[in-house]
Structure 1
Amino acid sequence: MRKIGALVSALSEKKAVWPEKVKIEFLEETNQGQPKVAQWRPHSEYLHQVFQEAGLSMGDFNIFYKDKDGEQMLLKPTKMGVEDFLHDHSDPPRLQVRWRPPTFSESAKQTVQARIKAFKDFIGRGEATDEAMKKAQNELEQKGGRVVPSSSVSGRSFIDHKGYGAEKWDEAVAGLEKELKLTQAESEALKIASLRREGKGAFHHEERNGNRLKTAYIAYSTVKSPAESGGDGTSKETIDIVYGKHEETMEISKSVTSLPPENCIQYGGRTFSVWPPGPPHSTTHGTDMCGLQVDLPPGWQIVDSSQEGFENIRKWVIAPYGWHTIDLVTKSGETLKAWRTRGGGIEAGKFFDLSTEVSLLGQSSFKFNSSGSYRILIEALPSASPELINHWKRYVELSAQREWSQRLSLPMAGALSAEQQLSEPSQPSP
């Protein structure tokens, strides 16, 4: 407290002479025209307001003044530093403000921040949770696909990051093209990173061998940022790229032949059957499904009665056949519906409310709760259908995100902590 009191006493004895106004010239080193001039009135406004109105920051400039001998003196580029200086000058001094290039530490920090952003944008926001992966795999299996286990991840998945000078970007792309086996169109898309501040790209390379499909997922994220000024006074830009490759293999089920042909009906190029299995020409009201909980066979799905064209299925697949049951169950959105078979006589093809007789337990699991005669109307999925391929690509992307996050020791949810991975940024490649 004694030290603080002494300091306050000393400041109170100091004569504070404030000029009415101070002329400030903004002279950028690359500007050959007239300097931008601003007037600062210390009595009524703060110094940093002058910079804010000019759309600038004090920390980005060197501030000078000329002493009585005409020599140029450097001030601290802070509000307090400049205002303390003005206390000692009764005559309005002329301040000269020049833009300064970033220091090495500032450039390094900016590079780290750019790479952190690239990593975060590349990995995503933790979508590959255990729940999401399990759901994607279940949906894939219901569409007729099966993930082929790999004995080792080594060699089929990697992630890397590099920094290049922007002027060398075309050469860098040529190297990446060979490493990732990009097509010409994919390579041209990557070259555009030199024209934009941020960029992303993702590709799927597929290789078919019998009923197996191997897919390579390739993705990248680029960030272009200014680097430390060169010796010639120019500012050189760098391009950081984070990229990875991940491979998975799927086995496509040959489910069209998994059920006996005598239990199937062909209509409109599609194959229909029932589950539990039943012959289409049987008009007996079977009760063998009562109390059962069943899963649909791989490669088959329940018929969706909300889809266009179902009226023809009702007319030519449900109504004319008995299917060893009185009612066939279909899906409509998230609910189940029942339709009378030929075993229902004059009511064949009519809709009946299911109530709670049959429950939907999952995407392909059902529970028959009553003693009524019901069966599930199912449809065979074609091998490698567009829907199956879409589910497969989604699974591969989630698997890649999960593997890359684990390799970088990044969490799968919440904010990604890449700072510790990038605390020592490498110098841009020449």
Structure 2
Amino acid sequence: MSPLNPASIPLALYAHFPWCVRKCPYCDFNSHTHSGELPESAYVSQLIGDLSAELARVPERRISSVFFGGGTPSLISGRELARFLDALRASGQLEDDAEITLEANPGTVERQYFADYVTAGVNRFSLGVQSFNDHALTALGRIHNGDDVYRAWDLLQQLNVQRINIDLMHGLPEQTPAGALDDLHKALALDPGHLSWYQLTIEPNTVFYRQQPTLPSEDALTEIEIEGQAVLAEHGYVQYEISAYAKSGHDCRHNQTYWTFGDYLGVGAGAHGKITGPDGIWRTQRTRMPEHYLSAIDFGRKAQLIERSDLPFEYMLNALRLKQGTDHALFSSRTGLSQQILEPMHSELVRKGLMQPDRHALSDRGWWFYNDVAGAFLTT
């Protein structure tokens, strides 16, 4: 195993805001419904302490992207968001041109909040649209309707926000291919720079898992996928990741760090992180419950070293999500392992027509079998 050079690995920051107005029946994220006044000041103070402790572990490194996820981060006031970002800037570890993204629910959009977000330094927004169809939105348990999406979009245009992602789902309960494509066309009519377009999946520990809705057939899902891909290509969107499409220059820098096995600090209730040190690569996690996080002196932080034998799978699980994959040299620089460890399995998957011969990338055929191909490296 070669020595790792953490300074050569990009570093991102993920900050989790755990509260929602209402929990969606398909959601398995760490989100908690909350009514009344949020303890946002106390929570941000705890976030700042958490951030300070994490930054002390990477003193010579600078953060190239920040992502506020949830839950519903657009419930937090611009004043408190600015307080967190000011603390980060004061550390001297934030790049001047950092990408700073905030997830926003169209049903929680308020002009002053969003103006304050932009003033605080947020330069990219991810709108959780999911659908433009009011019936579908009700079935998904969303608190917004189609008109709210357009109001949110218009506000971001008025604020001169240049980088916007639309989060859109397909394969919704009782959705037809025509309905899915209608949603896609409505999203494209807004001309976002980035589109996250992905199929609804039923996850354990969700309402939909216990009370499964009627979903489209496999044939219908395949039709949606094939026709939707063609529509996106016609409109100039390049699929650079399994569920991410972008126009030139609008790739999400933060997600690219994930998929290329970069590092990221995770702060906030239930947040996960990955940090490379001279002694190996560590996964971190915070306690999930907001009330526990707020009272924990150590923020409920746990850290676990990734075993050497697990690194090939961990790396491929991320890298193979990228349409172009990664070159062979990146595997060694991000894991400290020799590329030769992967060679027998890589050659076998190339022989089966599932991977490209000169890169760690899926072939056109392998693109349809991502889980199987990534899983093959569990035995490497």
The structure in which a higher percent of residues are strand is 1
TM-score band, normalised by shorter chain: under 0.3
- TM-score if structure 1 supplies the norm length? 0.20
Larger radius of gyration: 1
Query: When the two structures are superposed, what TM-score results if normalisation uses the length of structure 2?
Result: 0.22
